[in-house]
Chain A
Amino acid sequence: MTLTVNTAAALALGDDALVLSHRLGEWAGHAPVLEEEVALANIALDLLGQARVLLSMAGDEDELAYLREERAFRNLQLVEQPNGDFAHTIARQLYFSTYQRLLYTQLASGDGEFAPLAAKAVKEVAYHQDHAEHWTLRLGDGTDESHERMSRACQALWRFTGEMFQPLDGVGVDWDGMRAAWLESVGDTLRRATLTVPEGPQTGAWTAGAGRQGLHTESFGRMLAEMQHLHRSHPGASW
């Protein structure tokens, strides 16, 4: 598949939303409290809606979602990370929604082809970030156990955050400015949650920039196998 610049960007952003939506969908029936079942599903549905618009900009949404091999996906490794416990899910939400909000805010204020989508999505994403921040505060500054779990989660996912700020061709935003704003926002939330900002590198030794280049982590293949198997079992069928 040869991609035009903007198709590649639409795929990257669309895959982020698609994959994270899928991971959040795995929570259905497993959330820590009923109210959170509803909240997580709302976020997953927002993201799936964004994914469908973005993938449709790049081609047929279902062909792209269901018929690409693992190496053709352009999402960040962060969003494909397994749910883990609720703390891991919240840390992933905090890191990603903060990024997505900064990104979409810039895209919405421009006049590029992503501006209309971004203008709508930025409101959704602002709510996702609000949700993640409120839970980060409660888990970080809750009990000893929740503090411990949240610290571990923030630490574990930290090395997947650097990838977010690698410039994407076709997306004209101030990437360095975004990284600084992201660090400030996330750092502020973590400190208010009595957590420390992780000190390790923001990218792994081997995997720098990997997701955007189609290099993923092991669990992603299994996720795709589950997501795609039914669609692929019935070639050409409509649903």
Chain B
Amino acid sequence: MTNTDWPLWEVFVRSRRGLSHTHAGSLHAPDAELALRNARDLYTRRGEGVSIWVVPSAAITASSPDEKDPFFEPSADKPYRHPTFYEIPEGVKHL
């Protein structure tokens, strides 16, 4: 038995209520329960969080840098999605 290579987990921490979880880093753990506890000890020991998610790194599907252009560039030429695209006469309020 030489299975000592614990899988890798990605850790997401909500730093305070009202904010979303953000990626804090990764760690090794044999299972989800210990991953959560290790994450608590490692990434929140200075009071950095109020909630933690752990996700097996292997479970994440990521976009590839090669797909960057088809994925993200088409959204760059649609300025009408942004409020600054529209001209509103001066003096009109609450818009």
Contact = CB atoms under 8 A, between A and B. Distances in A.
A and B touch in the complex (CB under 8 A): yes
Interface of A: 33, 35, 38-39, 42, 130-131, 134, 138, 143
Given A35-B42, A38-B45, A42-B45, A138 B30 contact: yes
Interface stretch (B33-41, B57-65, B68-76, B81-89): B33-41
Contact of A38 (B6, B33, B42): B42
A35 B41 contact: yes
B1 A134 contact: no
A38 B30 contact: no
Contacts of A42: 41, 45
Contacts of B42: 35, 38
Given A39-B41, A130-B37, A138-B30, 13 more contacts: A33-B6, A33-B28, A35-B27, A35-B28, A35-B34, A38-B41, A38-B45, A39-B37, A39-B38, A42-B41, A134-B33, A134-B34, A138-B34
Task: Tell me the interface secondary structure of chain A in the complex.
Answer: helix
Contacts of B33: 134
A13 to B, nearest CB: 25
Contacts of B37: 39, 130-131, 134
B55 interface: no
8 contacts: A35-B29, A39-B37, A39-B38, A42-B45, A134-B33, A134-B34, A134-B37, A143-B1
